[in-house]
Structure 1
Amino acid sequence: MPPSSSSSSSSNCCFLQPQLPDECWESIFKHLSDPHDHESLSLVSRRFLSLSNRIPTHLTISYHLLPLLPALLRRFTNLTSIRLTRYFTGDINALLSQIASFDLPSLHSLDISHQYTFPSHGLRQFSLKFPTLKSLNCSHTKLGLVLIAECFPNLEEINVTYPITRVFPDRDLHEKALASGLKKLRKVDLSGTYILQDSSLFTLCQNCVSLEALLISDIGASAIANAIRQGPQLRSLAVRGGIVTLELIDTLVTLKCLTCLDLCYARISDETLCVLADRGLPLRELSLRYCSGYQFSGISCLLRNCNNLQYLGLERTRFLNDQRVIELSLLLGNLNAVNLSENAKLTDLSLFAIMRNCPLITKIRMENTGVGKQKLEHDCLVLNSHLKFLYLARNKRLDDGSVTTLASFCPNLEMMDLSDCGRVSKGAIEVLRRCCKIQCMDLARLGYELDQFRVNFEVPTLFVLNLPMLSISDEELSLISKSCYNLKELKLNYCDKITASGVKQVVKNCKQLRMISLLGCENVSSDIVTWMVFARPSLRMLS
């Protein structure tokens, strides 16, 4: 007896959606490469729609999103964080009051940074619904610590960096609110606030017994030392500017949990680095970006005693050259990421020394250096299969030969930045050809001698491609769209040779396209916008 149609339909449905528990499906959804793919899954069935509604946890609100906001807040009830776009043009007080009218039990983070006004009324309404807010970012806006402490006494993270006014007639009230009213703080970023006095920092560290991360600037070393003695549980300390004294170092070595130290724009001597090295801090991350006063002997002494360092930042370090980087790289066997940007004396020798001597390295930044100056024989090079992210922007000596060599010895690259590398042209194509896992390439203002950018082979892994100010034609753009058919983001700003014809080929062939930027493309008429929206429903951003 043949099965009934209903039985067949049920069988097909079971085949499409195996009867896995919801928790398994949620785990599968979360591992998708692009969260926007949840939209397609939500169309499969009501069950998938319900499950996909649980996944989004972050929401960025722009002025253009306001008409859809009620529907979004009703749909995505598992949101944990909400962020406003910079310099939001709507009524922020009304917006926060509106959000407070919805049931969002998991919401614990709010970002209202870079705003012209401080939404006092909206925050009061917001706090009535979300009194247990854990994280608040109000950097680059007016300062309202008194109201914040009153409304959100349970805050664990706060960012009040660089307020838009430096005049504080009620300074004492701000200091009291920060130091005594927010006792549950774990992470505090006060860079550029200009309000803290030495006594306030001391009280902050004394009262916030759970404080783990502190970012400060414009405070004397002695005051910092006195303060952090009150917080022996500190894991991360960032100090911008000033002089790093032996007193401060002696205090740092008492912090047995300190794993991250960032001394930006500070002046530090070899003696202080050696003292820090001798005490054996368990550092995992160290940044001395734009620091002065120390030499090679000091940093090498420190690195010999930091065997487990995973991140190192040495931007704009005057004494660094290739030989010294080679010596340092031998001390960094556990390094995962390094930033050596703004060091003009460093060439390909430094880059390949890091790749050879740091087998776990996944990210290298060497922007605005001398990479490309020193050509290396292939026999001297070693394959690095771990390196995924390589940032080489603004290297004026980098050329096609050097980039092709890199592509050959870094086959698993996922992201490469070659923006403002004026001598690179066809080498970028070799990266696409040889790096089979490449997902993102930034080629802005590439090769002033670039005559053709022909990608005549498949690059199915490429999702993001930035081509601003390139002299590419419609024919080349069409070829890119056929070869890189999984593109989700494409920037073509000021590509003045392309026309509507080339853009239509992109929209037609790239079926997952989410964002396309055509700013300054004078030969692309604005009339094409409506056609693009209807022709490619996946589009979410046009500019």
Structure 2
Amino acid sequence: MKRKERTSSVKSSPENRTKRRKRISDFYLPDECWECVFRFIINDNNKSCLNSLSLVSKQFLSITNSLLFSLRVKVKTRPFLPILFERFTNLNTLDLTYFYDDHNLDDLLCQISIFPLKLKSLKLPFGCRFPAYGLQVFLQTITTLNSLTCCAADFCDMDLSPIVDCFPLLEHLELCNTSFNDQHVVDFSLFLSNLVSINLNACRNLTETTLFSLGRNCPSLIEIKMKCTATGEASVGHSDSLVEFGVYPQLKSLYLAHNYRLSDEIIRILASIFPNLELLDLGHCYNISQGISQVLRKCYKLKHLNLTGCLSVKLHGMNFAVPELEVLNLSETKVNDKTLYAISKNCCGLLQLLLEFCYNVTEVGVKHVLENCTQLREINLRYIHCCQKATPWPDDRMPMPTKAAP
């Protein structure tokens, strides 16, 4: 028996087609909404999800293209640059860190210069020969660049004029692990009045003279990183007269960790020169002792202080309020309950206290911190013996607080 064919007249009627289109349009979202959704789910460190999203539809492909702001260029990537630059029109960072072809770096920069990019940041390969010619061509058309990363670069004859010539509006500069000396920094800092942050970590020929020069020559500078340098090794000279150095209130963050010769004398001078510091990193500066109390007194806006590994640091004599301090890292130090008692009385605004490997701390000192620092959100007690019996304080001027009842 022949089966009766079903008719599709109802499905294909103009009225139903109109209703169907209306139902679809009810679920339509404009690009701006999808962009907000994608921004929420994208991890800045892992943009692999963009590939999956771009396969859903042409609309998603267009949106994800506009959300890529950084492009990493390798040797294998170079032939595809015209296509990539045409596809990703909102690029603001060009990362050449893994372009291991030093001889063709100038040619690469010249090639990129022909594209109408609005780049703000450029990262050059680690240990490359500084591409002065390529950058000069590059910046004739790309005039928006204000950030340069050039670590362990080889500057021919230490001629730093290309940096000044190529980047008159430079705001962020990273020159880690180079052979610069103080005079080199003095020379190019004179022409970088817009500089906001500079990273000179592991530049082992630089001393505190560089700090003073940067403060004096760069009026917009708010952050200096000089970890693992020779700060503290040079003779300060007329250290009794701070007029010679001046006062530079613009600086907010100073990173000086692993400067083993840094002394109390130097940090007292730095506190007078940079009175508005909000972050100070002195981790593993072994010669710092009582001078840190004077730093806290002078830098009254300090919010973050790192004293990790400062074995000689002494804070138990602190008898003044430090209301702005929020983060204090005392890990790997010899602080004891007496120190914690002084901290709990004078740093009542603490949000985070780190005490890893502080073997002289007991439950007595911890309880006083918890009682007096009422805003504390985190206290790190890893690898300390809180249950050990407290030892008497050697200085009887501040009596041992009565142990609180459990």
Q: What range is the shorter-chain TM-score in?
A: 0.7 to 0.9
Query: What CA deviation, in whole Å up to 9, does each residue of 1:373-406 have, x standing for no partner?
Result: 1214234211001111000011111111100110
- How far apart, CA to CA, are the structure 1 residues paired with 2:218 and 2:70? 33
Q: Quick one: which of 256, 260, 285 aligns to 2:147?
A: 285
Q: Partner residue of 2:10? A: none
Instruction: Tell me, yes or no, if structure 1 residue 495 matches structure 2 residue 377.
Output: no
Are 1:498 and 1:524, in contact at CA under 8 Å, matched by a contact in 2? no
Letter in 1 for 2:377: R
> Structure 1 residue 445: deviation in Å?
0.5
1:479 counterpart SS class: helix
Are 1:456 and 1:480, in contact at CA under 8 Å, matched by a contact in 2? no
1:286 counterpart SS class: strand
- How far apart, CA to CA, are the structure 2 residues paired with 1:451 and 1:306? 44
Query: What CA deviation, in whole Å up to 9, does each residue of 1:18-38 have, x standing for no partner?
Result: xxxxxxxxxxxxxxxxxxxxx
- Give the 5 Å matches for 1:190-339: 190=72, 197-215=77-95, 218-219=98-99, 242-243=102-103, 245-254=105-114, 255=116, 257-265=118-126, 267-269=128-130, 271-272=132-133, 275-276=136-137, 279=140, 281-292=143-154, 294-297=156-159, 299-318=160-179, 320-339=180-199
Are 1:153 and 1:182, in contact at CA under 8 Å, matched by a contact in 2? no
Q: Partner residue of 1:6? A: none
Letter in 2 for 1:386: Q
Letter in 2 for 1:288: C
1:397 counterpart SS class: coil
Unaligned runs of 5+ in 2: 1-31, 389-403
Distance 1:333 1:376, change over 3 A: farther
Instruction: Tell me, yes or no, if structure 1 residue 421 matches structure 2 residue 285.
Output: yes
Q: Partner residue of 1:232? A: none
- How far apart, CA to CA, are the structure 2 residues paired with 1:286 and 1:498? 44
> Structure 1 residue 202: deviation in Å?
4.2
Are 2:309 and 2:332, in contact at CA under 8 Å, matched by a contact in 1? yes
- How far apart, CA to CA, are the structure 2 residues paired with 1:198 and 1:370? 40
Q: Could you say what the CA RMSD is over the residues aligned between the two structures, in angstroms?
A: 3.3
> Structure 1 residue 253: deviation in Å?
4.0
Structure having the higher Rg:
2
- How far apart, CA to CA, are the structure 1 residues paired with 2:384 and 2:292? 23
Q: Partner residue of 2:52? A: 147
- How far apart, CA to CA, are the structure 2 residues paired with 1:355 and 1:217? 30
Using the aligned pairs only, state the percent identity: 29
Q: Partner residue of 1:358? A: 218
Relative contact order, higher structure (CA 8 A, sep 6+): 2
- How far apart, CA to CA, are the structure 2 residues paired with 1:454 and 1:187? 51
Q: Partner residue of 1:437? A: 301
Instruction: Tell me, yes or no, if structure 1 residue 186 matches structure 2 residue 50.
Output: no
**TM-score when normalising by structure 1:** 0.58
> Structure 1 residue 311: deviation in Å?
1.3
- How far apart, CA to CA, are the structure 1 residues paired with 2:309 and 2:368? 23
Query: What CA deviation, in whole Å up to 9, does each residue of 1:400-454 have, x standing for no partner?
Result: 11001100111111110000111112222221111111111011001x3346643
1:408 counterpart SS class: helix
Letter in 2 for 1:137: N
2:359 counterpart SS class: coil
Q: Partner residue of 1:367? A: 227
> Structure 1 residue 495: deviation in Å?
0.7
- How far apart, CA to CA, are the structure 1 residues paired with 2:33 and 2:289? 49
Letter in 2 for 1:187: F
Instruction: Tell me, yes or no, if structure 1 residue 403 matches structure 2 residue 248.
Output: no
- How far apart, CA to CA, are the structure 2 residues paired with 1:248 and 1:108? 32
1:429 counterpart SS class: helix
- How far apart, CA to CA, are the structure 2 residues paired with 1:417 and 1:246? 37
Distance 1:135 1:477, change over 3 A: same
Distance 1:205 1:463, change over 3 A: same
Are 2:302 and 2:324, in contact at CA under 8 Å, matched by a contact in 1? yes
Unaligned runs of 5+ in 1: 1-104, 110-129, 156-176, 222-241, 526-534, 536-543
